[in-house]
Structure 1
Amino acid sequence: MTNTILEMKDISIEFPGVKALDKVTFTAKPGSVHALIGANGAGKSTLMKVLAGAYDHFSGEIYLGGNRLSISKPTDSQKAGVQIVYQEVDAALIPTLTVAENIMLQETVQNSGSKQWIHWRNVHKKAASQLEKLNSNISTKRLVSSLTLAEKQMVLLARAISTDCKFLILDEPTAPLSNRETEKLFSVIKKLKEEGVGIIFISHRIPEIVEICDEITIMRNGQVVKRDKVANLTSERIVEWMLGQKLEQQFPEQTPTIGETLLEVEGLSDNTIVKDVYLHVKAGEVVGIAGLVGAGKTELCKALFGDSSKTSGTIKIKGSTVKVKSPHVAVQNGLAFIPEERRKEGLILQESVQTNLVSANLHAFTKALHFLDKKAQKNKSQELIQTLGIKTPSPDTSVHTLSGGNQQKIAIGKWLVSEADIYIFDEPTKGVDVGAKRDIFELIAALAKRGKAIFYASSELSEIVGLTNRVYVLYDGKVTKELSTADTDEQELLYFSTGGH
Structure 2
Amino acid sequence: MTNQAVTSTPFLQVVGVHKRFTGVHALRGVSLSFERGQIYHLLGENGCGKSTLIKIISGAQPPDEGELIVEGVRHARLSALEALAAGIETVYQDLSLLPNMSVAENVGLTSELAEHGGRLARTFDRRALARTAARALQSVGLPGDAAFLGTLVEQLPLATRQLVAIARAIASEARFVIMDEPTTSLTQKEVDNLIAVLANLRAQGVTVLFVSHKLDECYAIGGEVIVLRDGQKMAQGPIANYTKAQISELMTGRHLSTERYREGGLGQDIVLDVRGLSRAGQFSDVTFALHRGEIVGVTGLLDSGRNELARALAGVAPAQSGTVVLEGRPIRLRTPSDARQQRIGYVPEDRLNEGLFLDKSIRDNVITALITNLRDRFGQVDSKRAQALAEQTVNDLQIATPGVDKPVQSLSGGNQQRVLIGRWLAIDPHVLILHGPTVGVDVGSKDIIYRIMQQLSKRGIGIILISDDLPELLQNCDRILLMKKGRVANEYRADELDEAGLYRALLSDAA
**Same fold by TM-score, threshold 0.5 exceeded?**
yes
Under TM normalisation by the shorter chain, which class is it?
Answer: 0.5 to 0.7
1:54 equivalent in alignment to 2:56: no
Aligned partners of 1:472 and 1:144: how far apart in 2?
32
Scaled by the length of structure 1, what TM-score is found?
0.65
**What does 1:83-102 align with in structure 2 at a 5 Å threshold?**
83-86=89-92, 88-89=93-94, 92-95=96-99, 97=101, 99-102=103-106
Partner of 2:50: 44
Partner of 1:334: 344
Aligned partners of 1:100 and 1:264: how far apart in 2?
49
Identity value in percent: 26
Aligned partners of 2:505 and 2:46: how far apart in 1?
32
**Alignment CA distance shift 1:207-1:418 (3 Å):** same
Partner of 2:36: 30
1:116 equivalent in alignment to 2:123: yes
Range that drifts further, 226-235 or 304-313? 304-313
Aligned partners of 2:451 and 2:291: how far apart in 1?
18
The equivalent position to 2:365 in structure 1, one of 341, 363, 378, is 363
Q: In the alignment, residue 56 of structure 2 is paired with which amino acid?
A: V
Q: In the alignment, residue 77 of structure 1 is paired with which amino acid?
A: A
Range that drifts further, 481-490 or 234-243? 481-490
Contact 1:89 1:152 in 2 (8 A): no
Range that drifts further, 225-234 or 3-12? 225-234
**Alignment CA distance shift 1:375-1:61 (3 Å):** same
Partner of 1:222: 231
Partner of 1:202: 211
Aligned partners of 2:360 and 2:155: how far apart in 1?
30
**Alignment CA distance shift 1:287-1:156 (3 Å):** farther
Q: Any stretches of 5+ residues in structure 2 without a counterpart?
A: 1-7, 369-380, 387-402
**Alignment CA distance shift 1:101-1:302 (3 Å):** farther
Contact 1:360 1:415 in 2 (8 A): no
Q: CA deviation at 1:48?
A: 2.2
Q: Deviations over 1:432-478 (max 9, x none)?
A: 9xx9xx99x979985984533427699x9xx99x9774869899x89
**Alignment CA distance shift 1:79-1:378 (3 Å):** same
**Alignment CA distance shift 1:284-1:143 (3 Å):** farther
Aligned partners of 1:104 and 1:279: how far apart in 2?
48
1:74 equivalent in alignment to 2:80: yes
SS in 1 for 2:166: helix
Aligned partners of 2:247 and 2:421: how far apart in 1?
33
The equivalent position to 2:255 in structure 1, one of 246, 256, 272, is 246
Larger relative contact order (Cα-Cα within 8 Å, sequence gap ≥ 6)? 1
Aligned partners of 2:363 and 2:183: how far apart in 1?
34
Contact 2:27 2:231 in 1 (8 A): yes
**What does 1:259-408 align with in structure 2 at a 5 Å threshold?**
260-265=269-274, 280-285=289-294, 303-308=312-317, 314-331=323-340, 333-336=343-346, 346=350, 363-364=365-366, 375-378=406-409, 381-384=412-415
Scaled by the length of structure 2, what TM-score is found?
0.64
- Residues paired across the two proteins, number: 445
Partner of 2:163: 154
**Alignment CA distance shift 1:14-1:300 (3 Å):** closer
Aligned partners of 1:375 and 1:60: how far apart in 2?
43
SS in 2 for 1:257: coil
Aligned partners of 1:116 and 1:280: how far apart in 2?
60
Q: CA deviation at 1:49?
A: 1.6
Q: CA deviation at 1:83?
A: 1.8
Q: Deviations over 1:328-374 (max 9, x none)?
A: 54355525376xxx7xxx5768x9x9868999996327797x9x977
Partner of 1:396: none
Aligned partners of 1:457 and 1:214: how far apart in 2?
31
**Alignment CA distance shift 1:290-1:31 (3 Å):** same
Aligned partners of 2:46 and 2:345: how far apart in 1?
28
Q: Any stretches of 5+ residues in structure 1 without a counterpart?
A: 388-412
SS in 2 for 1:54: coil
Q: In the alignment, residue 209 of structure 2 is paired with which amino acid?
A: I
Partner of 1:452: 462
The equivalent position to 2:110 in structure 1, one of 83, 98, 106, is 106
SS in 1 for 2:366: helix
**Alignment CA distance shift 1:7-1:421 (3 Å):** farther
**Alignment CA distance shift 1:478-1:224 (3 Å):** closer
Q: Deviations over 1:199-249 (max 9, x none)?
A: 223334445444434333333333334343334444444344444453335
Q: Deviations over 1:161-208 (max 9, x none)?
A: 221211122334344545444433333222211111112233344454
Q: Deviations over 1:116-161 (max 9, x none)?
A: 2573x8766654543432235696625447634x444333323322
Q: CA deviation at 1:96?
A: 5.0
Aligned partners of 1:99 and 1:414: how far apart in 2?
45
Aligned partners of 2:361 and 2:90: how far apart in 1?
33
SS in 2 for 1:50: helix
Contact 2:361 2:408 in 1 (8 A): no
Partner of 1:15: 21
**Alignment CA distance shift 1:483-1:28 (3 Å):** closer
Partner of 1:397: none
Q: What CA RMSD, in Å, does the superposition of the two structures yield over aligned residues?
A: 5.5
Partner of 1:192: 201
Aligned partners of 2:455 and 2:172: how far apart in 1?
48
Q: In the alignment, residue 60 of structure 1 is paired with which amino acid?
A: G
Contact 1:358 1:381 in 2 (8 A): no
